[in-house]
């Protein structure tokens, strides 16, 4: 057992499998008391198995740690609140909230239904909000704490996962808003965009050249939850963890601007914009054919 998180109470959603499980185990190994939150649903959000959270608790306690299982629906305000309240009532405080729960329902945008859109946004984005909302209130009173949201490289856009990429882009904006709003209370907020072999990555139809295991992501999350990260004022950041690689994403900013002497007209914009303001190239456009060919072959190179 380590002591990087000694004395801290941490709640982790999606902690029954994959990256969430790896994070829960790593937090416990570094001395944290852990709320293992997971309904145990399938990749598409169906067929819940409540035993997955209990199984992780058994792993933690067998290794000498302390943990409790929670099977709440974090897409509801009550579910998010109960995850946080479990930590507070059981351990007296909540020092870290990690939101790793997620589901996938793939469909091209022109075929996507409301039933495929809403649950994905509810799990990823609202599920992060409900836990952050409850945790932020407690952390504000404590004047300390750390929030960690999970995003994805797919926040850049996706061919057949507009719901997922929209949710993951929303998580980044939520994290940045939390960082700004909670900074004066001593609370940090960051996002992690992992590239790891999980149930979700197995369905990506193009080879992820930089990919690790769930256990490769956990050390970065542990660090972001720690006093070391808070003392270094690490907040409002998006980090990628992919095997041996850690990278930071750029903050949104203007690239180029042009100004009209009086006012713009569509004709004047057509004349000037391509050669002045221009565009910011979209890297994924160059990979579309490769992705389409792989999808047509039903390749699963990351399985």
Per-residue tokens: 276: 């002045």
For β-strands 96-99 and 67-70, DSSP reports them as unpaired
Cα separation values, 115 from 18, 95, 118, 126, 169, Å: 25, 35, 6, 15, 20
Rounded CA-CA distance 169/173 in Å is: 7
Q: In what order do the strands lie in the sheet with 33-37?
A: 67-70, 33-37, 9-13, 96-99, 145-150, 187-194, 238-242, 245-248
For residue 58, with 0-12 CB atoms within 10 Å meaning exposed, 13-18 middle and 19 or more buried, which class applies?
middle
Q: Are 40 and 52 in contact (CB under 8 A)?
A: yes
Q: Phi and psi of 300, rounded to 5°?
A: -135, 70
Residue 223 catalytic?
Answer: no
Residue 238 tokens, joined: 């998006």
Nearest to 217 by CA among 100, 77, 92, 127: 100
Question: Which candidate in 91, 164, 223, 239 is catalytic?
Answer: 164
Closest CA to 236 of 165, 169, 147: 147
Q: How far apart are CA 196 and CA 193, in angstroms?
A: 10
From residue 168, how far is each of 162, 164, 225, 284 by CA, in Å? 10, 6, 20, 16
Is-contact 89 134, C-beta < 8 A? no
Q: Residue 97's Cα: distance from chain center in Å? A: 11
Catalytically active residues are 164
């Amino acid at each position: 057992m380590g002591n990087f998180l000694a004395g801290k109470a941490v709640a982790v959603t999606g902690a029954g499998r994959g990256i969430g499980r790896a994070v829960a185990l790593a937090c416990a190994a570094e001395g944290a008391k852990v709320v293992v939150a997971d309904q145990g649903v399938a990749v598409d959000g169906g067929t819940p198995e409540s035993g997955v959270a209990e199984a992780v608790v058994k792993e933690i306690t067998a290794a000498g740690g302390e943990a409790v299982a929670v099977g709440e629906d974090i897409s509801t305000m009550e579910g998010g609140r109960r995850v946080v309240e479990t930590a507070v009532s059981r351990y007296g405080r909540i020092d870290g909230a990690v939101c790793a729960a997620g589901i996938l329902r793939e469909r091209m945008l022109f075929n996507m239904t409301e039933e495929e859109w809403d649950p994905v946004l509810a799990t990823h984005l609202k599920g992060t909000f409900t836990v952050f909302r409850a945790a932020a209130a407690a952390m504000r009173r404590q004047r300390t704490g750390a929030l960690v949201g999970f995003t994805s490289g797919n926040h850049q856009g996706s061919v057949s996962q507009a719901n997922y990429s929209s949710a993951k882009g929303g998580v980044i904006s939520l994290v940045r808003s939390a960082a700004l709003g909670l900074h004066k209370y001593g609370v940090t907020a960051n996002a992690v965009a992992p590239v790891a072999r999980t149930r979700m990555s197995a369905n990506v139809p193009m080879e992820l050249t930089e990919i690790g295991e769930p256990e490769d992501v956990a050390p970065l999350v542990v660090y972001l939850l720690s006093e070391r990260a808070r003392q270094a004022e690490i907040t409002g950041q998006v980090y990628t963890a992919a095997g041996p690689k850690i990278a930071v994403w750029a903050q949104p900013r203007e690239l180029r601007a042009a100004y009209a002497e009086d006012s713009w007209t569509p004709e004047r914009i057509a004349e000037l914009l391509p050669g002045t303001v221009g565009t910011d190239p979209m890297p994924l456009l160059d990979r579309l054919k490769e992705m389409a060919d792989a999808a047509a072959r039903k390749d699963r190179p990351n399985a």
